[in-house]
Amino acid sequence: MTIERTGLTPRWCDSAAFNGIVFLAGHCAEKTQGASLTEQTQEVLALLEETLEAAGSGKERILSVQIFLTNIKAIGEMNAVWDAWVAPGNAPARATVQAELASPGYAIEITAVAAKRSA
């Protein structure tokens, strides 16, 4: 079986798929870095959706997510965006934690594991 990668760079890839499972790299807001958590969450979820589609999956196929917030007290703000985005009836297993992220402008990072769509 082969490993399929999207967004490959010398250091990482946006996704790696093996045996019908897609593993996503952590996604952070680039265009809205330094903006509100709401704006960053919207951008990150859009990026996740793009990456999932490129890998042959979709948000309705997400199995689990890990969400990293620089301020866990702002979880309600992030949840408002998340709840509007998540595919109804397909909420994944989820963990949300507070963490220091790679850039001080990042308020959120999300990574996910999803199932590929059948051919």
Classify 45 as helix, strand or coil. Answer: helix
- Read off the pTM: 0.95
Does residue 84 carry a pLDDT above 70? Answer: yes
- What's the rounded Cα separation, in Å, for the pair 4 and 1? 10
Does residue 93 carry a pLDDT above 90? Answer: yes
pLDDT of residue 119: 58
Residue recorded with tokens 């996910």 = 112
What is the Cα 103 distance to its own chain's centre?
17
* Domains of the chain listed by start with CATH number: 4-115 (3.30.1330.40)
Residue recorded with tokens 């979880």 = 75
Give the model confidence (pLDDT) of 27-80 as tens digits: 999 999 999 999 999 999 999 999 999 999 999 999 999 999 999 999 999 999
